[in-house]
Amino acid sequence: MKTSFLNDKQIHPIEYRKWADAVRHFERHDKDRKKVDELKRSISERGLQKPIILGVSDRYPDVYVGDGHHRAVALMELGIESFAFHWYWIKNFGVRMEHEPFPYRLLGL
Pair type for strands 52-57 and 63-67: antiparallel
34 pLDDT above the threshold of 90: yes
Looking at residue 82, what DSSP letter applies?
B
Q: Quick one: average pLDDT of 67-81?
A: 97
Contacts of residue 58, defined as CB under 8 A and 6 or more positions apart, other chains included, come to 89, 90, 91, 92
Q: Quick one: average pLDDT of 47-60?
A: 90
Run of H or E residues at 49: none
Q: Quick one: average pLDDT of 45-74?
A: 92
Rounded distance between C-alpha atoms, residue 97 and residue 8, angstroms: 23
Rounded distance between C-alpha atoms, residue 35 and residue 49, angstroms: 14
pLDDT for residue 100: 86
Rounded distance between C-alpha atoms, residue 106 and residue 55, angstroms: 12
Q: Quick one: average pLDDT of 38-55?
A: 97
Instruction: Tell me the whole-structure pTM to 2 decimals.
Output: 0.91
pLDDT for residue 3: 97
